[in-house]
Amino acid sequence: MKALSIVIINYNTKALILCCLQSIMEQAPDTCEIIVVDNHSTDGSTEAIKRQFPGALLIENERNEGYAKAVNKGLVRSRGEWILVLNSDIELRPHALQNSIEFMRNHLDTGIAGCKLFNPDGTLQPSCEGFPSLWNILCESFFLDKLFPRSRLFGKLHMTYFNYDRAAKVDRVMGAFLLIRKTALAEIGFMDEQFFFYSEEVDWCYRAWQKGWAVYFFPDAEAIHYGGGSADPVSPALFIERHKNRFLFYRKYHDPLSSFCLRMVAALGIFLRLVAWSCLAIHRGLWKKASRPASTKKVRAYWATLKWYLGLAFSPNADDSAPCP
């Protein structure tokens, strides 16, 4: 039996997943099993994986089933003592796998661990956050986390004060790199498939803490996270999906009144950002159709998300669990 199972979810990221798989093979060609779950890619990903990495187990979905459901398909097939869930846009740095497993062996209370992530240009990519709470969302909505980034009181959601040079227990780590202990998985359970895309790892980490397992950030394992491989992160659909799943997570664990308050606070935060980005776009004179700068894309995304919040407010029985098209 392999000590480590690596589950990678792919959706139209051919070049990135080939790079990801190569970085794995350079570290652990014989000590881990690789499971790729493809969400019905149309860019030739599956053909390239079969050709260049025939030893990988490839599961081909007939449609895009979402991230959590794809991960669960990989978990069912995994046999390792540890399971690493990876995004396809991750490139492991040397010794990342060995160091991560060694850390888990030395910290028996750890159920889930995340590594130190970098942007493609070599800058640090924040990868630890606090759980969404009414206070944390209020601080984000009114820019308090940006005004006081070193404050543990105001910066808890995005952990803007966090020192990424030391190992520490955190609420949750980014889903791009999630190492979970098999025995912890047996207690925590698989990912909740109501989260189509976003917040599934937040829920997983929350349930780990509920079951008495610690979630750790570990800096001695490193990876490059390219990001945005499967979709445009500034698209209105993904903006809505991000907020929808954050709200679903909060509603799962809190009472209706608290959930309503969080929804209103989050909507106000979106409105403030819509006004700010609209003013910026007008100031720069960037409303021409020939130009599609980041500011106008943000305006469209915030406007679409605000309409979603307003629609949810006026239609409380609306199906907000369905994925965005």
Query: 312 versus 132: which is more confidently predicted?
Result: 132
Tell me what pLDDT residue 314 has: 53
pLDDT band at 291 (very low <50, low <70, confident <90, very high): very low
Task: Show the 3-state SS of 137-156.
Answer: HHHHHCCHHHHCCCCCCCCC
Task: State in Å, rounded, how far the first CA of the chain is from the last one.
Answer: 40
pLDDT value of position 324: 38
Of all residues in the chain, the percent with pLDDT exceeding 90 is 76
Mean pLDDT computed over every residue of the chain: 89
Q: Which pLDDT score, from 0 to 100, does residue 313 have?
A: 54
> In sequence order, which residues have a C-beta less than 8 Å from that of residue 288 and are 6 or more positions away?
none
Would you say residue 299 has pLDDT above 90?
no
Please tell me the least confidently modeled range out of 2-16, 196-210, 231-245, 290-304: 290-304
The three-class DSSP label of residue 268 is: helix
**Between vectors from CA 178 to CA 173 and to CA 180, what angle results, nearest 5°?**
115
* Greater model confidence, 104 or 287: 104
The structural domains of the chain, with segments of one domain joined by +, span 4-127+164-225, 236-314
What's the CATH class of domain 4-127+164-225?
alpha beta
Rounded to two decimals, what is the model's pTM?
Answer: 0.90
pLDDT digits (tens, 9 = 90+) for 147-176: 999 999 999 999 999 999 999 999 999 999
| Half-sphere exposure (Cβ direction) of 48: Cα atoms closer than 13 Å | 18
Q: What is the pLDDT of residue 319?
A: 44
Which one-letter DSSP state was computed for residue 323? P
* CA gap 208, 214 in Å, rounded: 7
List, for residues 233-287, the tens digit of each pLDDT value: 667 888 898 999 999 999 999 999 999 999 999 999 999 999 987 887 776 665 5
Give the per-residue pLDDT at 323: 39
Indicate whether 144 pLDDT > 80.
Answer: yes
Work out the average pLDDT over 182-195. 96
221, pLDDT greater than 50: yes
The Cα–Cα gap between 248 and 320 comes to 8
pLDDT band at residue 184 using 50, 70 and 90 as cut-offs: very high
